[in-house]
């Protein structure tokens, strides 16, 4: 295996934290980004920094200068960035009507615009070397919009849309784009879920008063029954890295709880999607996967 230079976001917990450790142990040079490395994330930053092959960078993903400075730092040291993993994200739940415009903007800023900011900044280097891999972490909710996670689902739909178009645009230039769709996992994101800010609408949804408890119990039962391990996502990322350039699948589902219907939807849509590309004169962008 050739050692790669990897930049990954959202590494203070969950999938990002495990993936940093996994890839570094395999010999990749990993640049782990997070916020507030001198404050609330100091312990995580110090632990990761102590691992061979890992460098921790303070990055504010909603700030152009912060992102560009981080990328310039890595390229100045390594002369390249081979792999970008857009893992950072957060969730809000609740009745869609309870989301203010500010709530929606905040979700899209982190879950859609921030990954695009990194992709846009990194692409020139990847194109110039005619080589690179971009992995975007979405969700099964990027394929199906779930009630009470409507706006969160919309952000994952957005990142999937960016990824799907880029998958075909960039592959002829030597750059692969892939999506990893995790299901429910016991990660830090689940412990930091926020709710829509406009709770004044809650009485209008009295019919659903017991649903949040039912949903929470159902998810808890799923996690207890299936016992998914975030390492599964890190392993899926590593598998994508190890596949041959140009042969990486667009979507990889990592979900032992509900992944069968997500994968079935992906497979069915892919058949029709490829028919659509051919109908619009873009069949040359397709290769067997």
Active site residues: 152
Q: 7 phi and psi, to 5 degrees?
A: -115, 125
| Residues 6 or more apart whose Cβ sits within 8 Å of residue 184 | 190, 219, 222, 223, 228, 255, 257, 258
* Displacement of CA 187 from its chain's centroid (Å): 14
Cα→Cα distances 78→26, 110, 118, 282, Å: 18, 27, 17, 36
> Could you give the CA distance from residue 52 to residue 93 in angstroms, rounded to a whole number?
38
> Could you give the CA distance from residue 49 to residue 53 in angstroms, rounded to a whole number?
9
| Residues 6 or more apart whose Cβ sits within 8 Å of residue 40 | none
């Amino acid at each position: 295996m050739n050692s790669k230079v990897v930049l990954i976001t959202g590494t203070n917990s969950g999938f990002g934290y495990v993936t940093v450790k996994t890839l570094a142990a395999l010999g990749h040079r990993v640049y782990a980004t997070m916020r507030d490395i001198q404050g609330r994330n100091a312990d995580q930053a110090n632990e990761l920094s102590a691992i061979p092959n890992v460098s921790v960078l303070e990055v504010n993903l909603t700030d152009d200068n912060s992102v560009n400075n981080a990328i310039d730092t890595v390229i100045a040291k390594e002369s390249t960035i081979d792999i970008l993993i857009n893992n950072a994200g957060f969730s809000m739940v609740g009745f869609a009507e309870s989301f203010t415009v500010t709530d929606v903007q905040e979700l899209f800023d982190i879950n859609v615009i921030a990954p695009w900011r990194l992709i846009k900044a990194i692409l020139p280097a990847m194109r110039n070397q005619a080589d690179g891999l971009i992995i975007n972490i979405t969700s099964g909710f990027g394929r199906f919009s779930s009630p009470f996670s409507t706006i969160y689902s919309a952000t994952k739909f957005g990142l999937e849309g960016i990824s799907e178009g880029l998958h075909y645009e960039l592959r002829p230039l030597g750059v692969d784009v892939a999506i990893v769709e995790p299901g429910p996992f016991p990660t830090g994101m689940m412990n930091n879920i926020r709710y829509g800010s406009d709770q004044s609408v809650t009485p209008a949804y009295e019919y659903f008063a017991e649903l949040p408890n039912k949903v929470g119990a159902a998810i808890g039962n799923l996690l207890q029954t299936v016992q998914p391990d975030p390492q599964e996502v890190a392993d899926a990322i590593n598998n994508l890295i190890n596949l041959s350039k140009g042969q990486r699948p667009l979507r990889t589902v990592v979900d032992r709880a509900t992944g069968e219907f997500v994968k079935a939807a992906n497979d069915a849509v892919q058949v029709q999607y490829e028919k659509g590309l051919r109908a619009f004169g873009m069949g040359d962008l397709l290769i067997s996967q």
